[in-house]
Amino acid sequence: TGRGSRAAREVVMRSKRAAVAVVLLAAAWTLQFAEAAGAALYAYVPDSSDDRVWRYDLATNEAIPITVGFAPIAVDGSSDGSVVVVASMETYPNAGSAAVIDGATATVRWTVPVGVNPRGVGVTPDGAKAYVSSYQDRTLTVIDTATGGVVKTITLDGSLGGVAMSPNGQRVYVVQNAFGATVASIDTATDEVTAVILASQVDPALSVTTDPAGTRLFVGLYTGVAIVDAATNLLLDVVQVDCING
């Protein structure tokens, strides 16, 4: 019936919205899974109300709080969980910080100053480098996690958003919003921008993530998800879903 068809369409649309919400959540720094030295599987969740990140053991449900900077907002880690990096707002609008955490001991090794109003973190699979984007400064801070030193500060275009690392660690992707939404592709060997990828000419972007193979980028927009071919940097499709208004 027409009523049944409409109900079915509404269920499909709700399912699409839920799927996109999951993509945006995964891309937007809230949760990081890491397997520490081949042992337990952990989830790291920033808690901006208490200035700490919670490490959850997914096998035992044990939770350990790790104190970081003021208002933590983004987290990422190495593939083996030995290095986890959490970006915090700190004394906005004056500074931001990144806590480099030892995954084995759940302790902060370094606290590194980064740009104002950080939004995203990407860590290379080997844990050697971390990249922290700054919305206010339009900069990407490159951190040597072994020393806690800043290797380079890269100035990008527009207000910056989420960060994603390619599975092989050769590229880091950063959301930019200036005239439309783009994604900067950066070579992690040289820390140079190698491409600027168009995601939308009108819709601002919030976040970015990759598929497990690193062949596709998914850019979270205000009203949907842009899908990009990671090999050619070409926009393949935009799935329109109104995530703001439900």
Provide the Cα torsion 58, 64, 68, 73; round to 10°: 30
Buried b / exposed e over 211-235, threshold 16 CB at 10 Å, is: eeebeebbbbbebbbbbbebeeeeb
Considering only CA atoms, which of 75, 65, 71 is closest in space to residue 33?
75
What pLDDT score was predicted for residue 108? 97
- CA 124, 126, 129, 135 torsion: positive or negative? positive
- Local confidence pLDDT in tens for the 246 residues of the chain: 443 333 333 333 333 333 343 333 333 334 455 554 455 788 999 998 889 999 999 889 899 999 999 999 999 999 989 999 999 997 656 789 999 999 999 999 999 999 999 999 999 999 999 999 999 889 999 999 999 999 999 999 889 999 999 999 999 999 999 878 999 999 999 999 999 999 998 888 989 999 999 999 999 998 899 999 999 999 999 998 765 554
The C-alpha atoms of residue 181 and residue 242 are separated, in whole angstroms, by: 17
pTM (2 d.p.) = 0.84
What pLDDT score was predicted for residue 232? 97
Query: Taking the CA atoms of the chain, what radius of gyration do you get in angstroms?
Result: 18
| CA 87 vs CA 84, 133, 191: distances in Å | 10, 9, 20
The C-alpha atoms of residue 192 and residue 225 are separated, in whole angstroms, by: 26
Backbone angle region of 170, left / alpha / beta, with phi > 0 → left and psi within -120 to 50 → alpha = alpha
The C-alpha atoms of residue 58 and residue 241 are separated, in whole angstroms, by: 32
What pLDDT score was predicted for residue 241? 79
Q: What is the DSSP letter of 77?
A: E
Structure token digits, residue 84: 């986890």
What pLDDT score was predicted for residue 24? 38
What pLDDT score was predicted for residue 202? 84
